[in-house]
Structure 1
Amino acid sequence: MQNYELMVIFTPVLSEEEYKSAQKKFTSFLTENGGKAVHENAWGLKSLAYPIQKKTTGLYWVLEYEAPSDFNEKLNIQLLRDESVLRHMFTALDKYAVEYNAKKRSGVSSRTEKAEV
């Protein structure tokens, strides 16, 4: 099992319910294929750096997960088929990135660690 992070930009025309159901669809697809969601974070509506399909904003969603290495191809196909997805990006996380994300979620930053030492 490898650690990954997925960032998805959904189209901004989705309602709140459609946005949440799209997130649920991909997390359930993950668990059905032997993966495990570690943490998910819905950033909400943000401006895009450049227009995509004539849209200047998008609904951002970040998912940190553990999955077998062949799972990303299956998920990539599902993301490409979904018309509500503007862009997506996978990132493989090493042990240091996983540790950093866990510390960040728990509220421990590197500044507080240095202050305690």
Structure 2
Amino acid sequence: MNNYELMVIFTPVLSEEDFKASQKKYEDFIAENGGGTVHSAPWGLKSLAYPIQKKTTGIYWILEYTGPSDLNEKLKIQLLRDEQVMRHMVTRLDKYAVEYNYKKRNGGFAVTEKTEG
């Protein structure tokens, strides 16, 4: 089982219910194909760096998951077929990235105040 991170940019015209349904659809797809969800983080509506399909905003969603290597090809096909998905990117995480994400989620990094001087 490998660790992966999926970033998806959905079309900005989705309702909140459609966005949650799409998240659940992909989490269920990963579970059905031998994977497991580690963490899901909806970022919400953000401005795009450049227009995609004549849209300047998109709804971002980050999913960290584990799964066999053949899962990504099946997932890619599903994402490309979905008209609500404008862009997607899957990144394989090494052990350092997994540890970093875990610490970031659980407040493992101390926030230091910047002093003026």
Band the TM-score falls in, shorter-chain normalisation: over 0.9
What is the CA–CA distance in structure 2 between the aligned matches of 1:54 and 1:104, rounded to whole Å?
Answer: 34
Corresponding residue of 2:60: 60
Residues 1:12 and 2:12 aligned together: yes
Question: Which is helix-richer, 1 or 2?
Answer: 1
The whole-number CA distance in structure 1 between the counterparts of 2:55 and 2:111 is 38
Instruction: Give the 3-state SS of the residue equivalent to 1:19 in structure 2.
Output: helix
| Contiguous gaps of at least 5 residues in structure 2 | 113-117
Post-superposition shift, 1:98? 0.2
Q: Structure 2 matches for 1:1-117, cutoff 5 A?
A: 1-109=1-109
SS, match of residue 97 in structure 1: helix
Structure 1 length normalisation: TM-score? 0.93
Identity rate, percent: 72
Q: Secondary structure in 1 aligned to 2:42?
A: strand
Q: How many residues align?
A: 112
**SS where residue 23 of structure 2 aligns?**
helix
Secondary structure class of the residue paired with 2:34: coil
Moved over 3 A (4+): none
Report deviation, 1:110.
Answer: 6.1
